[in-house]
Chains A and B, each alone.
Chain A
């Protein structure tokens, strides 16, 4: 019995060695034949990511470049701290903080997270707001329909789309993230029983997911009709800056959303309102008219 056990262990040992020999042959192959840059290709740097393959068209190269840039990061080692940040080609100043992307908003699934580019004077500002305010906050009819309860605004988590508490960073200067709260303000309705529902909630997200999955099977007319249906809540005229940044009554209830009095004062009074007035007075008298009536004056951004 003992002899048989010894024999079995011996055989298992030999089998293990044979497996090791095969693995070693596989492992050593790339090391022997890797001369000539294969090693580098396995660990591309941010710069290497952006290299252009030779046989692509200009459009394909642009696509390749955009995709590479989107995921590229860079590292700055200061000795006592290492900064790892998003790489934006041509951007001189350091970015530092990691961006928490919105993975739930239905609009940005098609329109992207940096959607504003028409109104030259304010497009960067609008994109700045889109970082912490959901599209539907400004782009859906500002007043609820008569048979609906008035809009109520809540913060939602960018990852889950669910209601979350007001961001603590709003009231604590130590936690200040300047818009990068990981949450966004969105409108919804509060039923009599107290339940809250976002205008673009789980139902709408599910519907959009289904549409995106099946749209390639639809013809162009069907797609156009579907788009029309999906955009039926969208207002012809979006909210204007001064609807919130004014000294009388802000459309957004800043206090309810967790903004401290100091910041509300700044948003509704001096700084921001002053800037909006300056824009209107000195640069673009009609810059708010976003729909086809934009001035041709060369303007910021």
Chain B
């Protein structure tokens, strides 16, 4: 291939790329015009392990999350050109181009990762050795999909979504670009949980509801036992205030990624700390010591908790006995009303005479 031909090609392709960039200017951060291909829903394949790999990006939804402010290549750092080589797994702890305002440093999720590493979900033990069953310890994507804002409006009463009037006040001064709206969504989303409590329970249940996982780690079925509590019933009715897993299990004063084993003296679920956990502000602030003095996650494993198991069996049969006894009684009473004169005993001649 001649040098001049190569140059011509490069210039042509650069021009093509430039035009692609103009056409794809909808998303300012899509510098490589990734959406030229990735906006198509069918961009996918099935890999060697039978896993469905989808490469589609829903631009409208993507714009509703904090990642809209970063470039695709900030996370997919190995992609420098289009068409690109197979994308490597994204490392969430790498620094992106955003400047974290409080420290004036490039933003990174590393502090979160560090917090997770020292929690019960960390892959290394206290001695720095890999824990058994490494595959069971979560990475970022095991619990997180692309985060989305959950903005709040409290301009006149609290409700979900962006307050147009509230936002208009911000935009009086902050006029450039979508800074005000983005900032509004970011801050108000952080004033509440970024995810619905039911979703959080579902995320924890992916592992903690798995019977094989429970057996491997000798854990109780805490998902089922949680679902039998008043807390979960309230969630089913749409409550956002009722506690999900993270409300009770995160170490006080720490981020949600710092959950410790209940054996740890600083754990929120350690027996000594449970009353404090329940008395967290916005929960049972004035509760006494014994509010959670019982076993919160009641598990009925026969070998592990024989007392609870036999209590359950006793009360189950007591309930069934009482209910079915009276139900049978009612049924027989109704039967008698239907056939008031019927008898299994045939009247004899003597009865006939005596009745006369």
Contact = CB atoms under 8 A, between A and B. Distances in A.
Interface in B81-133: 82-86, 90
A51 B210 contact: yes
A36 B224 contact: yes
Given A121-B83, A179-B40, A271-B16, A79 B45 contact: no
Contact of A128 (B13, B42, B51, B211): B42
Contacts of B337: 10, 14
Scoring A21, A75, A93, A97 by chain B CB atoms within 10 A of each residue's CB, the highest score goes to A93
B58 to A, nearest CB: 4
B56 A80 contact: no
B334 interface: yes
Contact of B199 (A10, A75, A132, A300): A75
B146 A271 contact: no
Nearest to A75: B199
Nearest to A87: B145
A106 to B, nearest CB: 19
B150 interface: yes
Given A179-B40, A271-B20, A94 B196 contact: no
Contacts of A301: 45, 55, 86
Interface in B146-192: 146, 148-152, 159-161
Interface stretch (A25-33, A151-159, A204-212): A25-33
B331 interface: yes
Contact of B160 (A80, A128, A283): A80
Interface residues of A, number: 81
A124 B45 contact: yes
A124 B41 CA distance: 11
A127 B320 contact: no
Nearest to B62: A93
B202 A47 contact: yes
Given A48-B209, A275-B82, A298-B85, A97 B44 contact: no
B45 A17 contact: no
A15 B85 contact: no
A24 B323 CA distance: 10
B345 interface: no
Contacts of B64: 78
B316 interface: yes
A270 B45 CA distance: 26
Nearest to A274: B16
Nearest to B16: A274
Contact of B9 (A76, A89, A281): A281
A75 to B, nearest CB: 7
B334 A95 contact: no
Nearest to B210: A51
A270 B16 contact: yes
A279 B83 CA distance: 7
B327 interface: yes
B209 A178 contact: no
Interface string A266-295: 100011011101110101000000000000
Contact of B85 (A54, A114, A132, A299): A299
19 contacts: A21-B330, A25-B324, A35-B312, A39-B228, A46-B202, A78-B64, A78-B150, A80-B159, A91-B145, A92-B90, A94-B146, A114-B44, A121-B83, A179-B40, A271-B20, A274-B12, A274-B19, A275-B83, A300-B84
Instruction: Please name the 6 residue pairs, one residue from A and one from B, whose CB atoms are nearest each other, closest first.
Output: A131-B42, A79-B160, A274-B16, A47-B206, A80-B161, A77-B196
